[in-house]
Each structure stands twice: as structure tokens, then as C-alpha cells.
Amino acid sequence: MILEKIRQVYPQLTKSQRRLADFIATSYQEAAFMTASRLARTLDLNEATVIRFAQRLGYPGYPELVQDVQDVVQKELGTREAPETEVQDPFIARLYVEIDHLQRATSHISPAVAQQIVTMIQDAQRVFVLGQGIAAPLAQMFSLLLRQQGIRSEHPPADALGLALALSDVDSQSLVIGVSLESESHEVANALSYADRQGAGTLALADTPISPCAQAARVALTCVAGEASPSCVAMMALVMDTLVQSLQTREPEKAERRSHHLDEARRAILFGQDGMKRSGDT
């Protein structure tokens, strides 16, 4: 997929090539119908730069690149379902818009990458989930969901000291996950790079393949909705929940035992040693 190719080569691109990469990553629906000359005029570049960019991504020329972009758009269109009747209520109408964004974003997720991520989480001895800004509560939620599955997961403070304390002894048995949304965090990206140098697995859950976190991680799953949308938050939460459910389906008996133990512990904490409500309790 072209968006993954852009993520992989982005650090090595020239300034002009990065402008092309940024435009395609964020406006691929528009780029899908542009000739090389029109794309060059739009970004105030020369056509030769566009052609060299296509070749830098591994394509023989621009026609092959734009065909891949068109395939992305066509795949999106194949997932869209309009409501049977026109919706009048603004709230319900907005829900349909968000569902449409979620469907489009889902079409960009590679099943192979998703399964690779599940394996990375399953095999890790320790998992650190990092996020700043709007991504922080999502990172905290994901870490909690992983802990519910019996995975040793932490959500450290995402300031420089908190990240340093958490990652000071990461190794090849560790997995560091960076969650990146609108408010990009260079500290989290730097933490991913540091963890990678220490031999840890690194994963980014991001809203664009050109974010610093996606660039810093060895593996990235990007939730691209095609345009700026609050669906980035909804899609990220959906991806996290789906990853956890995938972990459950791989080891259903272990998941069931874990759920039983959690329930026992919860009842004991709520109601005392016998796990039962005492007379007079409300």
C-alpha cells in the first residue's frame, strides 16, 4: 500500500519529496485524479520531481503510483454504505458521517500488520503504552485493557522524566507502543527511537503515516480517515478494542480464566473476604 511505502521512506526523502508525501498522505482522494503535471503545479514543483518521487517509492513511474492511490480510494468506496432514507435529525446524521469515516479508515488497515501487532503484544514480557495530549487517555485505556488480559502493561507519565524512568531498562523482551493523534508528541517519538536502539519492539498507533511516531516505530498501524475528523479518536479506540479481542480469541481458555480471577478479586474487594454482600449492605 502506498501509505505504508511513504511511511517507510519518509525520513530519507528530500524536502520537495516530503511535500509530495504529505499531500498524498493527507489528500489522496484529490491526488488520485491528478496527472503528474497537475500535481507538480499544485505544489509548485517541477514534473521531474514528481516522477523522481514515484521512483523513490519503488514505482517505475508516476502512472503506477497514481494507480495505487486510485486503488486506495476505490477500496474506501467499496466499504461505504449510505442510509436507506434521508436522515433529518442532526445528531443521527452526524452519527452516519462518523460511521462512514470509520468504514473508510478500516479499509486502510492491513490484516497482516494487525496480526503482526497482536503477536508482538502476545510475545512481549512487558508493554509500555505512551501518549500525550488527546492520545493520553486512549493510551491509558489501552494499557488497562491489556492488563485485564494478564499482560504486564504500564502507562507511564509522558513527560521526559516519566518516560526516562519507565524506559531506562527496556530490552528485547519489551514492547513500547506510542499512540499519536492530532497533537503530535515528539517526546513519544523520541522515546520510541530510544527503545528501538535498546532492542525493544516498537509500535505506533497513529492517525497518519507521516507522523514522527509512525516514522520512529518499526511497525505502525495508521487510522487514516481521509480528512481531519473526530473519527480519529473513535477509530483509535475501536482499533485498540479489536486488538484486545483478537488476543482473547487466540487464547480463549486463558482469557476465561483471567476473567474469572478478576471477578473473584473484584467481589472480594467490594464485599470482603467471602465475596458476598453482608446483611444491611446496600
Which sequence spans correspond to the domains of the chain?
Answer: 2-79, 111-261
Asked if pLDDT for residue 4 goes beyond 60, the answer is yes
**What DSSP letter does each residue of 77-116 carry, written as one string?**
HHH----SS---SHHHHHHHHHHHHHHHHHTT--HHHHHH
Mean of the per-residue pLDDT values of the chain: 89
Instruction: Give percent above pLDDT 70 in the chain.
Output: 90
168 φ, ψ (degrees, to nearest 5): -65, -25
More confident residue, 111 or 66: 66
Separation in Å, CA 64 to CA 4, 53, 71, 126, 236 = 16, 12, 11, 42, 31
Q: State how far Cα 128 lies from the chain centre.
A: 15
pLDDT of residue 228: 44
* Tens digits of residue pLDDT in 172-216: 999 999 999 876 679 999 999 999 999 999 999 998 899 999 999
Asked if pLDDT for residue 278 goes beyond 70, the answer is no
Taking the complete model, does pTM exceed 0.85, yes or no?
no
Domain range 2-79, its CATH number among 3.30.559.10, 1.10.10.10, 3.20.20.450, 3.40.47.10: 1.10.10.10
* Tens digits of residue pLDDT in 30-78: 999 999 999 999 999 999 999 999 999 999 999 999 999 999 888 877 6
Alpha helices, H only, 175-251 = 186-197, 212-216, 231-250
Instruction: Give percent above pLDDT 90 in the chain.
Output: 65
What CATH number belongs to 111-261?
3.40.50.10490
More confident residue, 226 or 150: 150
pLDDT of residue 188: 96
* Tens digits of residue pLDDT in 228-242: 454 588 889 999 999
**Average pLDDT for residues 156-174, to the nearest whole number?**
96
* Tens digits of residue pLDDT in 117-126: 999 999 999 9
**Average pLDDT for residues 109-123, to the nearest whole number?**
94
The Cα–Cα gap between 237 and 134 comes to: 12
**Which of 48, 46, 42, 47 lies closest to 24 in space, CA to CA?**
42
